[in-house]
Structure 1
Amino acid sequence: MPLLELPDEGNNMANAQYEKGKIVLEHSKNQVKKAGECIRKGNGDIEKAIEIIQQYRAAHLYPLMIIKNLVSKHAQKINKNALIARRLKRLPTIIDKLRRKTLDGVTPNSIAVTRMSDIGGCRVIVENRLQLLLLDSSLDKSRTTHKSKVKDYIKHPKPTGYRGIHRIYSCYDKDEAHQWKGFDIEVQLRTKLQHLWATTIEVVDLCEGRTLKTNPFESNHSWVDFFRLMSEFIADEEEFISLTPQEKNKIKTRLISLNDKLNAIEKLRSFNRLFSDKDLDLSKIKGGYVIIALKGNKIYYKVYTTLQKHLAIEAYSVVEKDEDANGLFVEMDDLRKLSYAYPNYLIDTRFFIDKYELYTSTKYWEKHR
């Protein structure tokens, strides 16, 4: 879960933060690997295995702070307003990645938890293509004891359409010995539009119960295709690629068809209304599910406990059959997580909707750049 960074208030606070983050790994890497296998196969002492994974995750905090500070210095030189965030991967996400059938849609998943390079993650969001390339170049030239390798999803986008540049830092790799030698930290570099695309996917995942981000190979292929095509248009707008008018019109036609099938844009509008509605106060609800229906200019909702999931599903089916309503089935934990992870503008899907309308409703894309 990304945390927005605030300026340090003096060296004492910075030093205290460093000391608090110095959690040393209590187990060998082999023990951590075995714990991951225990969780993958679902046998052995699962509770103990999870405890080991949690401690391994916590031990990433210090190298994560070190890499975040390294990247921040370079980012500030290029854009003082660059958004810099960091997070430790959530335990349920780690477990899901271990148990997933495949990570690439082809080969069986056999990843060891000790080979997960994104347990500690740092993200930098800059304004545009030029700033992104300048930041990547600056980091390339950086003199540091941390070894890095680059995964360039600009030149080679993921099958989902994800674009950005990832740098994997192997901490203190050039030191002979260090308590955090070999810990991997992933740094994601994105433009604002690339980040808009990625966070809109996360909103759909949480509100629609999809796995577009974490497990696209077993998700709804129409949603995956919708976002992949939007990514093509965004990449063209930012001049990472150049689409011909014929290619643009073909993508435009397919996007409209997918939107008709998914009701995607109306759902995004509904999500935005949900998060911006001040009368919808769900803060006192501790758990369970909420069915939300957006009909006309009004929002209706009903809350169910965890034990009433079957009733919640039945209620959602009724809402879905109403052609005049947009329905949402939301787990309360997910709603709170989303509100915390993406405060204010990051939940606002209007910018993504604006892009869709630009790409499908104007003659702009029929012109040569």
Structure 2
Amino acid sequence: MVSFVRPQFTRSRIRAAGKRIVKGTATPEDNAVLENFRGSHAYILNTFQANIRNHSRETSRSVGQRLKRRNTILDKLLREPNMPLSAMHDIAGCRMIFKSLQDLNDVRTSMHGARWRHSLTHESDRYDYINKPKTTGYRGIHDVYEYHVNSIGGIPWNGLKVEIQYRTLPQHAWATAVEVADLITSNRIKFADATAHYLRYFQLASEIIARTAENSNSCCADLGNKELAEEFSLADRRLGLLQTFDNLRGTSSRGLKFRRNTLLIFKFEVEEGEDALEFRTYENVNRAIEAYDELEKEYGERADIVLVRGESEENIRDAFRNYFSDARAFVDLIREGLKML
């Protein structure tokens, strides 16, 4: 039986640790507080993925889970200095991908009507980036739940939060391409912290996909079809991303033998003939978390490491395609979309 990491520190202690870590004045105990806080979210991930599958069976294309990386946590604290570590709501994340917007809405409605004690922490439209796309072009819907149970076994985790992401396949293809571009160009398009050329490229791409694949709009609704196609084509001639994505074959993922807990290690610098992606799998989630911490210390900024959980190898591949350098769905959607404009 798996023994999950239990929360050991108060919210005020977690908040204080986060402040000192960001300021660079952290003590060894502060770092231990962060690792305990992050690791304790594995328990609610395990609980929510079971609930999610009950509501999305036969509907969602895939369901994936991940714990936020230490460096990503620190980066978010720096980007949002008024947000305390104890209030960060996406350390635990579940992602559901659907074939259609109707399927997405049906499952989300079912989740909202669930008879559980976990509470939605916001108004239902607060993180609806489909009806109100982000200025970057991101589309999808996020829900944040606060974990709450009465059972003695689960009470220690009450109050922790989990973020659930809902995306359609076209929306996921765009988000995957952004993350692959960030990995191979060292940009931060995902956080709107990149050169203007890259930011505009993905704004235009999002509009093309929304307009031609889902009969909707994104962040460039003011452009006519001809103007949109011409500007994107010019942007792609400048950056060459479609051809770059098309050349990525995801060969780094060959030989993956799935287990429930998988560490994906995307290395930024590799020797000739060496795979950029390394994976390690574990039956025990606590051992996976320990290895996660060890590898982050070993690689530092030289790799992007994430702990993912899923029910099958295909599940992990679908939900975390960016780590397999697979942006081919994006390429197909854009090329087909340009023909339709």
State TM-score, norm by structure 2. 0.75
Q: Which runs of 5+ in 2 are unaligned?
A: 256-265, 277-300
Does residue 127 (structure 1) correspond to residue 102 (structure 2)? The answer is no
**In terms of mean alpha carbon deviation, does 190-199 or 349-358 score higher?**
349-358
Identity of aligned residues (%): 27
Residues 1-369 of structure 1 aligned to structure 2 (within 5 Å) = 16-17=1-2, 20-21=3-4, 23-45=5-27, 47-76=28-57, 78-79=58-59, 82-100=61-79, 103=80, 109-148=81-120, 149=122, 150=124, 151-172=127-148, 178-213=155-190, 215-216=191-192, 218-236=193-211, 237-241=213-217, 247-272=224-249, 275=252, 289-290=269-270, 333-334=303-304, 343=317, 346=321, 347-360=325-338, 362=339, 364-365=340-341
Structure 1 residues 133-166: Cα deviation after superposition (integer angstroms, max 9, x where no partner)? 1111111221210111342111111111111111
Determine the C-alpha separation between the residues in 2 that align with 1:244 and 1:124. Answer: 26
Tell me which amino acid in the other structure corresponds to 2:6. Answer: V
The alpha-carbon distance between structure 1 residues 253 and 155, as it changes in their structure 2 partners (threshold 3 A), is same
Q: Rg larger in 1 or in 2?
A: 1
Tell me which amino acid in the other structure corresponds to 2:303. Answer: D
Shift of 1:287: 7.7
Residue in 2 aligned with 1:319? none
Shift of 1:95: 1.3
Shift of 1:342: 6.4
3-state secondary structure, aligned to 1:272: coil
Tell me which amino acid in the other structure corresponds to 2:201. Answer: F
In angstroms, what is the RMSD of aligned CA positions?
Answer: 3.5
Determine the C-alpha separation between the residues in 2 that align with 1:171 and 1:193. Answer: 30
Tell me which amino acid in the other structure corresponds to 1:351. Answer: A
Tell me which amino acid in the other structure corresponds to 2:71. Answer: P
Q: Is the 8 A contact 2:147 2:159 kept in 1?
A: yes
Q: Is the 8 A contact 1:173 1:181 kept in 2?
A: yes
State TM-score, norm by structure 1. 0.69
3-state secondary structure, aligned to 2:184: helix
Determine the C-alpha separation between the residues in 1 that align with 2:99 and 2:317. Answer: 19
Shift of 1:82: 2.7
The alpha-carbon distance between structure 1 residues 287 and 171, as it changes in their structure 2 partners (threshold 3 A), is closer
Q: Is the 8 A contact 1:171 1:184 kept in 2?
A: yes
Kindly indicate whether structure 1 or structure 2 has the higher relative contact order, using CA contacts under 8 Å at least 6 residues apart.
Answer: 2
Q: Is the 8 A contact 2:61 2:99 kept in 1?
A: yes
Q: Is the 8 A contact 1:290 1:332 kept in 2?
A: no
Q: Which runs of 5+ in 1 are unaligned?
A: 1-15, 104-108, 279-285, 293-299, 304-330
